[in-house]
Chains A and B, each alone.
Chain A
Amino acid sequence: MPISIDHYVYLSTVLFCIGVMGVLLRRNAIVLLMCVELMLNAVNLLMAAFSTHFNDPSGQVFVFFIMVVAAAEVAVGLAILVMVYRHAKSVDIGLFNKLKG
Chain B
Amino acid sequence: MIEILFYVLSFVSIVTGLMVVFAKSPIHSVLSLIVTFFAIAGQYILLNAQFLAIVHIIVYAGAIMVLFLFVLMLLNLNKEAEPNKDIAMKLAGVISASLLMVTLTGALHGSVVPEATLAVNTSNGLVKNLGQVLFKDFVVPFEISSLLFLAAMAGAVLLGKKHPSQITDSEIQKI
Contacts and interface: CB of A to CB of B under 8 A. Distances in A.
Contacts of B94: 21, 24-25
Interface residues of B, number: 83
Given A9-B108, A61-B138, A78-B67, A83 B159 contact: yes
A86 B168 CA distance: 14
B116 A53 contact: yes
B55 A30 contact: no
B173 interface: no
B133 A76 contact: no
Q: Is the interface of A mostly helix, strand, loop or mixed?
A: helix
A41 B16 CA distance: 14
Contacts of A1: 47, 120
Interface residues of A, number: 71
Interface in B136-155: 137-138, 141, 145, 148-149, 151-153, 155
A17 B98 contact: yes
Given A54-B116, A65-B141, A74 B52 contact: no
27 contacts: A7-B10, A14-B14, A21-B98, A25-B85, A25-B93, A30-B68, A31-B26, A34-B30, A37-B64, A38-B33, A41-B60, A51-B49, A52-B47, A54-B118, A60-B130, A65-B138, A65-B141, A68-B148, A70-B64, A71-B64, A71-B152, A74-B64, A79-B157, A79-B160, A82-B159, A83-B159, A86-B166
Interface of A: 1-3, 5-11, 13-22, 24-28, 30-31, 33-35, 37-38, 41, 44-45, 48-49, 51-58, 60-61, 63-65, 67-76, 78-83, 85-86, 90-92
